[in-house]
Amino acid sequence: MSLALQPSGAVEIDGARVPYYDAGPHDSGRLPLLLIHGTAGNTNSHLGYLFPMLAYRQRVIALDLSPAPGQEQAELTVEDLVAQVMAVARQLLGPNQGFALMGYSLGAVVAAATAGLHPERVQQLVLVAGWIKTDTQQQLRNHVWRTLRQTVGEAEVLRDYMAFCAFSPAFMQARSLTDMQAAASAIPLSPWVDRQMALNSRVDITALVERIRATTLVIACSDDQMVPRHHSQALFGAIEDARYLELASGHAVVFERPAELFHAIDQFTRAPTAHAAGTRIPATRP
Amino acid sequence: MTSSHSTPDSASRQARLIIIGAGFAGLGLGMRLRQRGDTDFLVLERAADVGGTWRDNDYPGCACDVPSHLYSFSFRPNPNWSRVFSPGPEIQQYLRECARESGLLPHIRFGTDMLAARWQAERRRWLIETQHGDFEAEVLITATGHLADERLPEVPGLESFTGEVFHSARWNHQAELKGKRIGVVGSGASAIQVVPQMAEVASELVVFQRSAAYVIPRADRAYTAAEQRLFARDPECMHALRSEFFWNGEYNFAQRRNVPRYLQEAKDLALGHLARQVSDPVLRQKLTPDYEVGCKRLLISNDYFPALSRPNVTLEASALARVEGSQGVAANGASHTLDVLVLATGFEATRPPFAKRVFGSAGHSLDAQWDQGMQAFDSIAVNGFPNLFILNGPNTGLGHNSVVYIIEAQVDYLLEALDHMRQQQIAVLEADAQAEDAYMDALHQRSQGTVWLAGGCKSWYVDPRSGRLTLVWPDYAHAFRDANGHFHPEGYHPTPATPST
């Protein structure tokens, strides 16, 4: 019995081999849901909780965004990643079928861009801790990261800094420094991560976001230091058919509040228009 | 108090609603009714105090396995909880305060046991027989809980025992324990709390364990006075903590759902705890479960394993097979001379005794109708039993979160049902048989592959007659509220109120 999710297959696109995961019932009455992980993640690390649990509700597809061999120095673009998403969608859903798309962090940028480029395919959209245009606060953090990366390489302090940015103060308060450093040590570093971080420093999908027609749920994390919630608010304002929900979490919501995130996504894909466009959905008070 | 918040006459024997039981469910419903100005109800309570399982379970060491800021009413937070997991008497005190403050006490008939409740179709009323005479209500609500009636083991010779014998929920506080040879039967949630206490006072303690339990660390600590004052001054901090506990609990449903990665995570936590606390390999082996984690209730304790390691404590990895005078004999043949026998053997959960006392429109009991196991539409109403609502009944237990949350969802449902009856001038609501079966089939589908059914254990969550999961809600707690937090009139047959002539 393997503890990790196993890919169901892979597609080749622009020289990259992109593994995908496909599970859950096809007769749930919901659109197939594609999931896109964030920076320095993959399906197992970022979506290890959401993917199997959502698959008890509906068909879910995820992919591992992947580098093409021999292009380690190339500048990564949002469009490169959109192409990987669409390649998986074409492979599993054919050329025409509509689907729902959820992206987290950089995955949310990719999801929003995909929805803007392919409004006929992406009918429902969930953007978790996403953004439209990298701003000064993010550039400054990215600059500190890049400087550390260039000077210390893969030293512990770089991962500690990443954990410091990713988790909320409240989450860390309930844990020890040792616990947090152990969590940090699991963060992967690689030339592929470097390229994603470089992309993060120069995102601007303003024009694409204007073209989004999907029924959209924007999810912000209240204590996000990497993608502060004003970015999600900007998406809420920019997308016509959007509703907005805020979760009490840092950027690392897939680790801090995976079950609450599951609930938000599950409720939305079951009844996407239960909240009218423009609604600020109140947080659950258990 | 406004005049609309009147209370029933002390001699009153009828009310629109009669609620059976004054534990978390009965009190929660009563508080919500009074909050909205509904006063036409009575609560029949067989004991002399409120509190339900927290009144009954006053054994040494009793505490809750759910953090107190979550295991309490959302509409009545308590900034003064002493600990993350507060002791049992503090929970009981909380419930007493809830009852008193909300003006519920005049509604409660203490020492009044529902002997039988019969639906009188012609009168459209429930007739409730008690040892203090009959009561009558339009709507009957049972709020008797899963942990109300103790389950006693069928041990041959138990009546011949020469010492003191009692169930953990019926603790004999007169029994002398100090320096005695004490046997504890069971290794469930009550046993692991009782054992460390008994180990302190007994000269010798023997634990009879039918099957080993998975035990994880208890992240308990006292709240400081400063924290308590902050909770009082800024209740948002309390709500934030409650949410954190709730969603952390919800996370663990992935274990019950049987997702390998999360199952392994729980197993590693439990077996790591065992390895750290028990160095003796023989004892550790006896304490290693032979079924999947979560199939039986996952327990939390920091002092159970250390207690078993004490020189005056013996763990028999074997059920108590028979009693011969002063001898407790385990199934493995080991015999122990005992002065006191504590039966920490749990409760009648899948076949609740209250069901033998409730008789529907066809004249048979709910227990008879449930001859293949409990079932109810929306986990609350049963075809053939008009105007009966069951709180904390079939498929409302949880293996991973606070049952108070489930109770509150059911109370919301019930209040909507009562409003619906009033607004639509409906006298009688009866669950549709097909809707009930469809609901149960859907739950059975949801249960497939969960660790309760696939985990290879015998537990109180599964009805042995049908093999179905009848006690537990087989999904997230939030999914219960989403599914059953609102009344569904389409699942009921309404009978209009007779127009007055």
Can you tell me the distance from the alpha carbon of B269 to that of B70, in angstroms, rounded to the nearest whole number?
23
Task: Confirm if B347 and B459 have CB atoms less than 8 A apart.
Answer: no
Give the pLDDT score at A211. Answer: 98
Lowest mean pLDDT, pick from A74-78, A234-238, A267-271, B457-461: B457-461
Which strand (E) or helix (H) includes residue B185?
strand B181-185
Residues A286, B74: C-beta atoms closer than 8 Å: yes
Check whether A110 has a pLDDT greater than 60: yes
Cβ separation of B260 and A258 shorter than 8 Å? no
Do the Cβ atoms of A259 and B247 come within 8 Å?
yes
Exposed e or buried b per residue across A230-257, where buried means at least 16 C-beta atoms within 10 angstroms of its C-beta? ebbebbbebbebbbbbbbbbbbbbbbbb
pLDDT, tens only, B154-200: 999 999 999 999 999 999 999 999 999 999 999 999 999 999 999 99
Q: Are A248 and A102 in contact (CB under 8 A)?
A: no
From residue A262, give the alpha-carbon distance in Å to each of A52, A184, B178, B231: 11, 24, 52, 29
Q: Which of A3, A259, A267 sits opposite B482 (nearest CB)?
A: A267
Distance from CA of A212 to the nearest CA of B (A): 29
pLDDT tens, N- to C-terminus, chain B (501 residues): 344 456 777 788 999 999 999 999 999 999 999 999 999 999 999 999 999 999 999 999 999 999 999 999 999 999 999 999 999 999 999 999 999 999 999 999 999 999 999 999 999 999 999 999 999 999 999 999 988 899 999 999 999 999 999 999 999 999 999 999 999 999 999 999 999 999 999 999 999 999 999 999 999 999 999 999 999 999 999 999 999 999 999 999 999 999 999 999 999 999 999 999 999 999 999 999 999 999 999 999 999 999 999 999 999 999 999 999 999 999 999 999 999 999 999 999 889 999 999 999 999 999 999 999 999 999 999 999 999 999 999 999 998 999 999 999 999 999 999 999 999 999 999 999 999 999 999 999 999 999 999 999 988 889 999 999 999 999 999 999 999 999 999 999 999 998 654
Best interface-test mutation with B: which of A43, A176, A268, A285 has the largest number of B CBs within 10 A?
Answer: A285
Q: How far apart are CA A46 and CA A59, in angstroms?
A: 18
Across the interface, whether the CB atoms of B264 and A284 are under 8 A apart is answered: no
pLDDT at A1: 57
Closest Cα of chain A to B251: distance in Å? 5
Q: Which residues, listed in sequence order, are joined to residue B137 by a DSSP beta bridge?
A: B15, B126
The predicted pLDDT at position A17 comes to 98
Using a CB-CB distance cutoff of 8 angstroms, which residues of chain B are in contact with residue A174?
Answer: 244
Enclosing H/E stretch for B140: strand B133-142
The predicted model scores a pTM of 0.96
Among residues B160, B102, B462, the alpha carbon closest in space to that of B327 is found at B160
State which residue of chain A sits closest to B260, comparing Cα positions.
A3
Which chain B residues touch A260 with a CB distance below 8 Å? 247, 250
Q: What residue in B sits closest to A286 (Cα-Cα)?
A: B243
Residue of A nearest to B479 (CA): A263
With left for phi above 0 and alpha for psi between -120 and 50, is residue A13 left, alpha or beta? beta
Nearest to A284 among B70, B262, B478 (CB): B478
- Interchain contact, A3 vs B476, CB within 8 Å: no
Give the pLDDT confidence score for residue B214 in this predicted structure. Answer: 97
From residue B300, alpha-carbon distances to B64, B297, B410 in Å are: 10, 10, 27
| Residue B458: predicted pLDDT | 85
Q: What is the separation of C-alpha B271 from the centre of its chain, rounded to a whole number of angstroms?
A: 27
Give the A-side interface with B, CB within 8 Å: 1-4, 48-49, 52-53, 56, 170, 174, 248, 257-260, 262-263, 267, 283-286
Residues of chain A in contact with residue B262, where contact means CB-CB under 8 angstroms, are 49
Q: Report which of B369, B353, B397 is spatially closest to residue B151, judged by C-alpha positions.
A: B353
Residue B288, helix vs strand vs coil: coil
Helix (H, G, I), strand (E, B) or coil at A32: coil
pLDDT score of A71: 86
Residues in chain A closer than 8 A to B261 (CB atoms): 3-4, 48, 52
- Cα nearest neighbour of A44 on chain B: B261
Q: Do B251 and A49 touch (CB under 8 A)?
A: yes
Rounded CA Rg of chain B: 23
Closest-CA residue of chain A to B72: A286
Q: Which residues of A touch B476 (CB under 8 A)?
A: 259, 262-263
Q: How far apart are CA B67 and CA A174, in angstroms?
A: 14
Q: Contact A285/B74, CB-based, under 8 Å?
A: yes
User: Does A267 sit within 8 Å of B250, measured CB to CB?
Assistant: no
Angle at CA A59, nearest 5°, toward A53 and A62? 75
- Compare CB distances from B240 to A2, A48, A248 and report the shortest one's residue: A248
Q: Which residues of A touch B260 (CB under 8 A)?
A: 1-3
Q: How far is B154 from chain A (nearest CA, A)?
A: 39
Q: What is the pLDDT of residue B10?
A: 76
Nearest CA in chain B to A3: B261
User: A54 to chain B: nearest residue by CA?
Assistant: B254
* Pick among A53, A58, A266 to test the B interface (most B CBs inside 10 A): A53
Q: What is the C-alpha to C-alpha distance for residues B112 and B131, in angstroms, rounded to an integer?
A: 7
Q: Are strands B41-44 and A99-104 parallel, antiparallel or unpaired?
A: unpaired
Q: Which residue of B has its CA nearest to A257?
A: B247
Nearest residue to B319 (alpha-carbon basis) of B345, B295, B299: B345
Residue B2: per-residue pLDDT: 40
Longest dimension (CA), chain A: 53
In B, which residues are within 8 Å of A248 by CB distance? 240, 243-244
Mean residue pLDDT of chain A comes to: 97
- In whole angstroms, give the CA distance from residue B369 to residue B440: 15
What is the mean predicted confidence (pLDDT) over A44-54? Answer: 98
Query: Which residue of chain A comes nearest to B73, CA vs CA?
Result: A286
Q: Which residue of B has its CA nearest to A175?
A: B219
Q: Which residues does chain B have within 8 Å of residue A283's beta carbon, measured at their own beta carbons?
A: 243
A-chain CB neighbours of B246 within 8 Å are 286
Q: Tell me the nearest-neighbour CA distance from B63 into chain A, angstroms.
A: 22
Q: Do A259 and B253 touch (CB under 8 A)?
A: yes
d(CA B225, CA B217) in angstroms, rounded, equals 25
What's residue A130's pLDDT? Answer: 98
Task: Give the list of residues 6+ apart from residue B401 with CB closer than 8 angstroms, or none.
Answer: B66, B70, B246, B249, B250, B252, B253, B476, B477
For residue B66, give the nearest of B56, B75, B53 by alpha carbon: B53
B81 touches chain A (CB under 8 A): no
List of chain A residues whose C-beta atoms are within 8 Å of the C-beta of residue B477: 286
- In which band, very low, low, confident or very high, does the pLDDT at A72 lie, cut at 50, 70 and 90? confident
Shortest Cα–Cα distance, A21 to chain B (Å): 16
The pLDDT of residue B501 is 43
pLDDT reported for residue B499: 62
pLDDT tens-digit series, residues A151-203: 999 889 999 999 999 999 999 999 999 999 999 999 999 999 999 999 999 99
Neighboring chain B residues of A286 at a CB cutoff of 8 Å: 70, 74, 242-243, 246-247, 405, 477-478
